[in-house]
Amino acid sequence: MKQIYKYFGIIVIMVFSFYYTDKIALMVQSNNPIMKQINQEKEKHEEKSVNAIINEDKIIPGKNGLTINVEKSFSAMKSFNAFNSYYLIYDQVKPDISLNDNKDKIITNGNLSNKNISIILEYNEKNVKYLENYNIKGDVLIKKDNFLNTNKLEMINNDFENYNEVEILLNRSKLNNNLCLAIEDNKDFCQKRNKYLINSELVLSNDNVFKIKNSLKNGSIVIVNEDTNISNLEIILNQAKFKGLNVVYLSKLISEENIK
């Protein structure tokens, strides 16, 4: 029995020793000048999340908030023995109303605070080659017979007769961003497969180029009709550049990730 008490006493001493060692370490760390400055800078650098905007069956993505991970930031700076805001490490804070919790809604626009737009091409070989040749980040609606072996453009499965086969091709190439152009005929089909549902009123054709040009804004999604001439596509791209809008992949446009 005495032996048991002896071992129990040793265990208790060890537990309290670890406890107080941690307490002392935390106290020393909290008094470190780098840690003090990280805590002082928190409010200046952190950002609140922005809720997604829902209007009936439509949604505009929100934006994650940012909070400083104090421990990781301190670890990143202590080897330099100096505070540097470049080495602040952030954690993403999901909005209360988030795109990922509302995937039954149709995305009609990207985040309104980002100066980005996206171009979705109905398949047209000349327009596809144009984007590839000029390294313009675009998306293409593809089917089994025109699957693209490229990493320059994003592909959206638009083959509802051979959907599973195209999914296999996308997954095998690690190019599947789970996007779907949602129209009445295929909305339920895509929703059951947990896709991001996309649509837009901005559908570019050869006879409405100036209407689309004047409608461009932050987050615009432009669907380019397959018969659209390259010259009219160029007008939209030039207008985007004139307005300071970046052409990005659709997956980036709808992402709620907050990149510092």
**Structural domains in the chain plus CATH codes:** 2-53+62-96 (no CATH), 106-253 (3.20.20.370)
pLDDT at position 192: 93
Q: How far is CA 87 from CA 8, 20, 35, 41, 93, in A?
A: 45, 30, 13, 12, 19
pLDDT at position 167: 96
Q: How far is CA 98 from CA 66, 104, 258, in A?
A: 15, 12, 13
- The Cα–Cα gap between 66 and 55 comes to 26
pLDDT at position 22: 43
- Cα torsion angle, 92, 96, 97, 103, sign: positive
At 189-245, the pLDDT tens digits run 999 999 999 999 999 999 999 999 999 999 999 999 999 999 999 999 999 999 999
Q: Is the pLDDT of residue 88 over 60?
A: yes
**Which of 17-31, 157-171, 187-201 has the lowest average pLDDT?**
17-31
- The residues, any chain, with a CB within 8 Å of residue 93's CB and separated by 6 or more, are 48, 49, 64, 65, 66, 67
- Name the pLDDT band for 16 (thresholds 50, 70, 90): very low
Find the mean pLDDT for residues 75-98: 91
Find the mean pLDDT for residues 68-80: 89
Comparing 239 with 31, the larger pLDDT belongs to 239
Instruction: Judge whether 218 and 112 are in contact, CB under 8 Å.
Output: yes
- Average pLDDT in the chain: 88
At 120-161, the pLDDT tens digits run 999 999 999 999 999 999 999 999 999 988 889 999 999 999
- Name the pLDDT band for 14 (thresholds 50, 70, 90): very low
**Which of 27-31, 71-75, 118-122 has the lowest average pLDDT?**
27-31
Q: Which two tokens stand for residue 93?
A: 């804070």
Instruction: Judge whether 232 and 211 are in contact, CB under 8 Å.
Output: no
Find the mean pLDDT for residues 33-52: 90
- Name the pLDDT band for 10 (thresholds 50, 70, 90): very low
Name residue 216's amino acid. L
Spell out the SS3 assignment of the chain. CHHHHHHHHHHHHHHHHHHHHHHHHHHHHHCCHHHHHHHHHHHHHCECCECCEEECCEEECCECEEEECHHHHHHHHHCCCCCCHHHCCEEEECCCCCHHHCCCCEECCCCCCCCEEEEEEECCHHHHHHHHHCCCCCEEEECHHHCCCCCCCEEEECCCCCHHHHHHHHHHCCCCCCEEECCCCCHHHHHHCCCEEECCCCEECCCCHHHHHHHCCCCCEEEECCCCCHHHHHHHHHHHHHCCCEECCHHHHCCCCCCC
How far is residue 137 CA from its own chain's centroid? 15
